Amino acid sequence: MTIREYIPLKDFSHFKIGGPARFFIDYGSFDELSFAISFSKEVSLPFFILGGGTNILFPDEGLKAVVIRDISTTLSHKKINDDIFVRVSAGVSFATLLDYCATHSLSGLEWAGGLPGSVGGGVRGNAGAFHGECKDTVYEVVSVSSLDPKEKIIRDNFACSFSYRDSIYKKKPDEIITEVIFRLRPGNQEEMKKAIQEKIDYRITRQPLEYPNIGSIFKNIPWEKVPSTHQQNPFFLQKKKNDPFPVLPTAVLFDHAGFKGRAEGDAMISTKHPSFIINAGAATSREVRELIAAVKSDSLQRFDISLEEEVIVVN
Ligand SMILES: Cc1cc2nc3c(=O)[nH]c(=O)nc-3n(C[C@H](O)[C@H](O)[C@H](O)COP(=O)(O)OP(=O)(O)OC[C@H]3O[C@@H](n4cnc5c(N)ncnc54)[C@H](O)[C@@H]3O)c2cc1C
């Protein structure tokens, strides 16, 4: 394990934006994680947990922090009666997990085809797509608190308090997810591979994957929060969807509002999928934040709709 200094965070963000991290530590075991936590105390800097960097906007000035990243690769499964329990370390990517599941015919996570990022980041934000969410199959989550790194904390699904793009871990910044156990079931390998590939193909066609981005910037809008005058809008009514509950997709609102292609410098609302902001060249964190603020303010003024960020904006 090495402690690196002044590492450009843009190299670790899918947005390709962000200044240097004061310290950067990759850890591969429980002991190394404990060491990284002690080190951050020693240098009196906060730690920041990095997963796949697919949901984070880092500041241009960088982070005066110890950025820590899980590089362990534990991935195993065991069958107990009709259930199959998959144990995976938090730093493993969803792509690797899905490959493993398809190879061993373990069904239940096909919805995550093409979902970028790590298992830890996904579980923290209860990532979801195509009518599936992490909460559907998470059995237990193991974490470590920086306050007492020697002690492992194990929560069952209920104790994780999952809800739309949310979990208890968002309220516990001192906790680092180290392992996740999913409860899956036997599947048909060919059908699973097909289902996963369909999701990947859908994303390639609909999402601006050719540009650096960090996914949907805002959460979709719960239908009950759409003012009743706009609920009658035929365009909104037609595009209203039920995933995971009735929502007006932010992309539909932005399309209707004419936000496609709106830009601040090189930060631009995607014309392909308007709930994404793309980095069209050399966008800065400041430009992205200005664009976020501008569309939030316009959405409030024009539609009386208050948007909530899905991405993590680090200041
Ligand atoms: C092209 C694209 C498409 C996307 N599509 C979807 C989608 O369909 N559905 C969806 O829900 N999301 C989607 N996202 C967003 C993103 O992929 C997910 O939110 C993903 O789960 C984030 O995981 P990550 O490892 O990249 O987290 P990061 O971006 O690295 O981190 C996100 C947050 O999680 C914290 N974190 C990371 N690891 C841990 C850990 N081990 N313990 C505690 N906290 C941790 C970080 O500190 C940070 O606050 C998309 C993103 C992109 C770029």
How do residues 25-84 score in pLDDT, each as one tens digit?
999 999 999 999 999 999 999 999 999 999 999 999 999 999 999 999 999 999 998 899
Dihedrals phi, psi of 271, to nearest 5 degrees: -80, -20
> Is residue 149 helix, strand or coil?
strand
b/e per residue 231-260 (b: at least 16 CB within 10 A): eebeebeebbeeebeebbbbbbbbbbbebe
Which one from 175, 179, 287, 310 is the annotated catalytic residue? Answer: 310
3 CA distance to ligand 1 middle (Å): 24
43 CA distance to ligand 1 middle (Å): 27
Q: What is the pTM of this model?
A: 0.94
Mean pLDDT of 268-286: 97
**What residue's CA is closest to ligand 1, atom 2?**
215
165 is catalytic: yes
Mean pLDDT of 294-308: 96
Delimiting residues of CATH 3.30.465.10 domain(s) in the chain: 75-197
Quick check: CB of 49 below 6 Å from ligand 1? yes
Is 90 exceeded by the pLDDT of residue 148? no
CATH topology of domain 208-313: 3.90.78
Delimiting residues of CATH 3.90.78.10 domain(s) in the chain: 208-313
214-240 pLDDT, tens digit each: 999 999 999 999 999 999 999 999 999
Is 90 exceeded by the pLDDT of residue 196? yes
**What residue's CA is closest to ligand 1, atom 50?**
215
At 244 the pLDDT is 80
- The pick from 124, 126, 200 for probing ligand 1's pocket by mutation, whose C-beta has the most ligand atoms within 8 angstroms, reads 124
Average pLDDT, the chain: 96
Cβ within 8 Å of residue 260, ≥6 positions away? 254, 269, 270, 271, 274
Delimiting residues of CATH 3.30.43.10 domain(s) in the chain: 3-70
At 257 the pLDDT is 95
Quick check: CB of 124 below 6 Å from ligand 1? yes
198 is catalytic: no
What CATH number is given for 3-70 in this structure? 3.30.43.10
> CATH classification of 75-197 is 3.30.465.10, yes or no?
yes
Please report the atom of ligand 1 found closest to the CA of residue 165. Answer: 11
At 81 the pLDDT is 85
Verify cis geometry, omega within 30 degrees of 0, for the bond prior to 46: no
Please report the atom of ligand 1 found closest to the CA of residue 55. Answer: 29
Please report the atom of ligand 1 found closest to the CA of residue 209. Answer: 1
At 315 the pLDDT is 86
d(CA 47, CA 32): 14
56-57 and 312-313 strand pairing:
parallel
6-16 pLDDT, tens digit each: 999 999 999 99
Mean pLDDT of 140-152: 92
